[in-house]
Amino acid sequence: MRKLITFFVNRPVWGNAFIAIVVIFGLFALFNTKKSFFPELDPQTIIVSVFYPGASPTEMEEGVTIKIEQAIKGLSAIEEINSTSSENSASVRIKAYQDANMDELLSEVENSINSINSLLALKNPY
């Protein structure tokens, strides 16, 4: 470290050149950085929530969560599936690949979930 300091003290032009290069790269980065007050991000996540009053977490997992996971498992645009079962509710978070068509995936997920026959008893008739 001492040699580096000695080098720049003995050759002040190199120190000033180094500072100038850092400033130039900083200005270049400042003007080329995208700026947005609210950045526009395409959502890549679908969340399926099911509410079943009076059901235990085990009932929600066995009767709802596992069936939803099995129904959507074969869809090609899905990168990751995370699920949570708790008392009275279940939630399945579906993360899609970055280049996936979210409208098409949402339609496929809806169709897959609506085709589960055992969930028809859970739907609200009103």
Kind of pairing between the strands at 89-96 and 78-86 = antiparallel
pLDDT bracket for residue 116 (50, 70, 90): confident
d(CA 11, CA 5): 10
Question: Average pLDDT, stretch 87-112?
Answer: 91
Element (H, E) at 48: strand 45-51
Element (H, E) at 96: strand 89-96
DSSP 77: T
pLDDT in tens, 15-33: 899 999 999 999 999 999 8
pLDDT in tens, 94-105: 999 988 889 999
Domain-wise residue ranges, the chain: 2-32, 45-119
- b (16+ CB within 10 A) / e for 62-79: ebbbebbbebbeebebbe
- 8 Å CB contact between 46 and 96: yes
The CATH number given to 45-119 is 3.30.70.1430
User: Which residues lie below 8 Å from residue 75, measured CB to CB, with a gap of 6+?
Assistant: 105, 108, 109, 112
Question: Average pLDDT, stretch 2-11?
Answer: 88
Look at residues 100, 99, 122, 118 and name the one whose alpha carbon lies nearest to residue 109: 100
Element (H, E) at 119: none
